[in-house]
Amino acid sequence: MPGKFTTNLGSVSIDDNVIATIAGLSAMECYGIVGMASKNATDGFFEMVKWENLSKGVKIISQENEVNIDLHVILQYGVKISVVAGNIIEKVKYNVENLTGLKVGNINVYVQGINVQK
């Protein structure tokens, strides 16, 4: 399990929810992102989640020696999606690896909506 490691002082275990929260907060720091999206259980549509529930828009897949992350996001209208997605990937990878010491494999960004404000 990649979220668990042992030092000479003992064992450390990092829950997937902690990793998801770090990833969600990191993504929200990027320009062009409006929010994280979560699938509504009743109708199956994606909806924007509140700040305290950012981890609901993040899925952590733990493998043998690395963590893979899926992010479901809502972007602002008018931004270049590929650039914003690239920035999100870089920021999330950097923060997760530096704050947890875990190796991040793939980060997949799924754009679930575009927010249009007048």
Domain boundaries, the chain: 4-115
pLDDT, position 20:
94
pLDDT, position 104:
96
pLDDT in tens, 23-82: 999 999 999 999 999 876 566 677 778 877 888 899 999 887 899 999 999 999 999 999
Q: Assign domain 4-115 one CATH number from 3.40.50.720, 3.40.50.150, 3.30.420.40, 3.30.70.1350.
A: 3.30.70.1350
Is residue 18 classed exposed, middle or buried when 0-12, 13-18 and 19+ CB atoms within 10 A define those classes? middle
pLDDT in tens, 71-118: 999 999 999 999 999 999 999 999 999 999 899 999 999 999 998 875
pTM of the entire predicted model: 0.86
Report CA torsion sign: 75, 76, 78, 84: negative
